[in-house]
Amino acid sequence: MSIRLSTAPLLLASLLALISPPCCQSLSSIDRHLSDVVPFSRDLVSADRGTADVYIAALIPSSSDGSLLAFELALARVRRLSQNVRLRLVYITTWCRPAKATKDLFDLLHYLPSAFVVFGSGCPGLTGAISQISYFFNISLVSYADTSPELEDESRYRNLVRIAPSDADFNYPRIRLLQMYNWTKSCSIYQDSSSLTTGDSSHQAAAKAKLDDMLEAAGFNMSFVSSSRFMSFESAVKALEMFKQKEYRVISALTNQSLLAPLFCAAYNTNMYGTRHVWIVSGFRLSDRMWRPDTFNCAFGRCNCTRKQLLAAANSSLYIDFITYSADTAQADYARELEQLSSLATQGGAFRSYAFDSVLAAAAAARKLLQAAPSAPTPQMGSVPSPAELLKGDALKTSLLNSNFTGLTGQVQFLKKSRLGLLMLQQLVVSADGVNLTFLSEFDCSTMAFLSGDEALRNSIVWPGGSPPRDRTEIEARLLTLQIWLFAVFASLAGLGVLLSLGLMVVNIMYRNHRYIKMSSPQMNNLIVAGCVLCYLSVVFLGTDASLLRGESRALTYICSTRAWILSVGFTLSFGAMFSKTWRVHCIFTNISMSKKIIKDYQLMLIVVFLLLVDVGILTAWMISDPMWREERLVSIEKLSNDREVHFYNEICSSKKLPLWIGLLFAYKGLLLIIGCFFAWETRNVSIPALNDSKYIGMSVYNVLVMCLAGAAVSFALKDNQSASFIITSLLIFFCTTITLALVFFPKLIELRRDPRGEEKRVRATLRKMSKRPADEIEPERCSTVRLAKAAEEKDQLKRTLEAKQAEVRRLEEELQLRADQKSGLETGKTASAGKLEDFDGPESGTAEVFLHGGADGRPTAAELEVWIRRQKGESARQRRCNFSDEELFNQEIADIQDRLLADSPR
């Protein structure tokens, strides 16, 4: 048989045990009449020879351990395994010394071969070594007091069967409490293994590791579960401070009694107690005796709290512990034994009941094997084995694990190697009457339920605040959406805006050949209208949210992309068309080299197409490389109570590099606005009939700039107030778009009403500055100017009339002179001809000498008259040119440009 030892010290102790003399018998405080429970001695070995008795070898911490009485009371019930086989128990006092326990156990098993099972040990840290020694002798080990989760390792402790529940089993009622109160956020603080020399602390670390596995298996979200270890008051304070920052309120503590007071002192100092917190504690025994003044205090400088402060922090905490007996079975089936065990001293009291049930389990398993053994030898066996031989090895272990009976601690059954037993839940209640540890309910690990029922348990627990604390602040998430009526109002306004735009487009198309419309580039007007339609539609998409789409996240993602496209393209179409028209005016009136050059509409269209391509490039790169998605952003928190808050969320469109893309679009369009405003300012004094809307286009550019600046500021300032942001942004879009349409198209509508056919003669262009004085000051001056002009015209007319009368008088005088000189015929004829010529040309013309020839009647011929008319026109033209100023000459050139623009404009 192979020997499997875990450590070198254990192997050394085993070898020493083999070469050492047998141990002397130990004194016992148990009366000598308890013959079935005796200490190990040489006399017992000699008396045992030749009998059919089988022995249980028990290892106890001390001779006064209360488990000895439990062994005797149990043996009194199961003393006879069969007619010829009696069950006895021999014990060794170990004093929790590993070397002594190892040596004595080797002696016992070597000199007492009828021992078929080992019980032990009541000392932490000894069970593992005893398990390996007993495995060497092919004997099963039954543990009635060691609760370490590490003993569940099948590969290391193959012959171990545990009657007492494991410390990891405390996690079952803990998890059930979390589920019952819907505490999904919790933390655990456990004792560090380096803080103590005993094995209790390592139990807590192993139990905590099991707790994490159980929570994950039970479906808890481990992101809401945290843990930390502690080994002193200072480390406990640091751990609880971390839990406090993360707002943990349900704390599971895994510690022994030595660090319980420092832990609650840390809770008091960090304010992690009271109506908003709950403590679930496990890991120590005799919890009802923990709160005495001599045990629950800050002695030896371990903490700095008074007993009153400790009790305030520990008030209403819950404790999970082993049961001493089952309330359902002990009173009826084991009343006598329970009475005797209760009267015993408290030493070993936590496991007396499990020691009792260990004997019952071993006896039941042995009886089952003996009953199944053949009574006569078979050819295969050769001889009938002894009872001790029948009870050794895996057969007894298998029979033990298949046990199912009612013991002092309840139903005894196993899962793998561990007992599925009963645990109890208690609550510490501090009142004016004192400190009371109230029993609440038993917990059955086999059914994973409290025996009293969940509802009865809820009614039994006393909460300081009158109700169980919440594991976190209850947060009600509310999504802020637009009210339906508000969306309907602005959607209706957007619809009216679209209808207005389409109506203006129809008028623009119908009257595109009208002189006034034709001079304003109707194709560019159509682009302005198309951009305005998209801007109106963007209001509808801005108001579309989850309340309208009923939470369709995919549709909302498309809405986010559509918002960016439709508003950007709409702005580019409308403002791009106005920008290009303003650029044309600027080129004509500020660039001398281009004054004779014609800028046609298709060139303006190319500018708009270029701006659109820039938009498409930026938006396409954005949507492909960094797609947008719907996101809910926390905007405000309303605190209703200590445990209730309402979080208000806004629905926004977001992407990974959203500021980069928004900044790129703002920079590009902002530069376009600045350049457009510059062009508008440079041409602010231009009034051109051929470009008759230049003044209004400039005003539209200013309007767009102001509205865009206001919209950007409002969007940034009111980003957390969805309704206000939507209202103001939508109004700015409406005003900007509507004012643009009014400035561009309403003057045309007025002109169409005044001159439907476009036959009125155009007015020359001018660069004169427009008056900045008020209209009430300008109008009287205009009236005075008109009166002066009329007076001057009447003066000129009277002067001409006077000159005509004077010419008539001279003519009559000359006729009289001619009649007086009739005697000189030739001289008279010449004189008459000269008089007639003067009559034709006027007295001041001085051009009579041009006509050297005349007709038969003495008047000029037709050819002579034509020459005279041409000469008169040339002199008039030269005179006008001499009298024109540079400004009038420039206006004449503008008139020539108007003629060419009209000739080249498409119909």
Mean pLDDT of successive 10-residue stretches along the chain, which has 907 residues: 38 41 36 61 62 84 80 87 84 87 85 85 79 85 86 85 87 92 91 56 77 89 88 89 92 85 91 92 68 72 83 91 74 70 59 88 89 66 72 85 85 80 89 85 89 90 88 82 85 90 88 78 86 89 76 73 87 83 75 58 85 90 86 80 80 83 82 78 63 59 70 68 80 84 82 72 45 47 59 77 82 78 55 46 41 49 58 54 50 54 47
List the end-to-end C-alpha distance of the chain, in Å, as a whole number. Answer: 114
β-strand 410-412 against 474-480: which pairing, if any?
unpaired
Residue type, 738: T
382, with CB counted inside 10 A (0-12, 13-18, 19+), is exposed
Is residue 165 a contact partner of residue 152, using CB atoms and an 8 Å limit? no
Is residue 818 a contact partner of residue 835, using CB atoms and an 8 Å limit? yes
Asked if the domains at 50-164+349-372+385-420 and 170-324+421-474 fall in one CATH topology, the answer is yes
Query: Is the pTM higher than 0.85?
Result: no
β-strand 225-230 against 250-254: which pairing, if any?
unpaired
Q: What is the pLDDT of residue 837?
A: 42
Is residue 738 a contact partner of residue 502, using CB atoms and an 8 Å limit? no
**What's the CA gap between 542 and 655, in Å, rounded?**
17
591, with CB counted inside 10 A (0-12, 13-18, 19+), is exposed
**Cβ neighbour number for residue 21 with a 10 Å cutoff:** 7
Give the domain ranges of the chain: 50-164+349-372+385-420, 170-324+421-474, 483-627+678-754
Residue with tokens 């439709």: 566
Is residue 146 a contact partner of residue 118, using CB atoms and an 8 Å limit? no
- Say which CATH topology domain 50-164+349-372+385-420 has: Rossmann fold (3.40.50)
The correct CATH number of 483-627+678-754 out of 2.40.50.140, 1.10.240.10, 1.20.1070.10, 3.30.830.10 is 1.20.1070.10
Task: Report helix, strand or coil for 900.
Answer: helix
β-strand 422-431 against 318-322: which pairing, if any?
antiparallel
Query: How far is C-alpha 365 from the geometric centre of its chain's CA atoms?
Result: 60
**What's the CA gap between 507 and 746, in Å, rounded?**
11
**What's the CA gap between 511 and 293, in Å, rounded?**
104
CB-facing half-sphere around the CA of 44: CA atoms within 13 A: 29
Residue with tokens 């390792």: 153
Return the ∠ at Cα 26 (arms to 25 and 27), rounded to 5°: 125
SS3 content of the chain, % helix, strand, coil (to 5): 55, 15, 30
Q: What is the pLDDT of residue 888?
A: 56
Residue with tokens 């339920």: 449
**What's the CA gap between 225 and 213, in Å, rounded?**
11
DSSP 80: B
Q: What is the pLDDT of residue 22?
A: 40
State phi, psi for 251 to the nearest 5 degrees: -115, 125
Is residue 396 a contact partner of residue 116, using CB atoms and an 8 Å limit? yes
Residue with tokens 């303006």: 604
Q: What is the pLDDT of residue 445?
A: 87
**What's the CA gap between 456 and 807, in Å, rounded?**
137
**What's the CA gap between 331 and 337, in Å, rounded?**
10
CATH architecture of 170-324+421-474: 3-Layer(aba) Sandwich (3.40)
Q: What is the pLDDT of residue 897?
A: 53
Is residue 633 a contact partner of residue 649, using CB atoms and an 8 Å limit? yes
For every residue of 500-528, DSSP letters joined together read HHHHHHHHHHHTTTSHHHHTT-HHHHHHH
**What's the CA gap between 356 and 339, in Å, rounded?**
13
For every residue of 659-699, DSSP letters joined together read HHHHHHHHHHHHHHHHHHHHHHHHTTT-B-STTTTHHHHHH
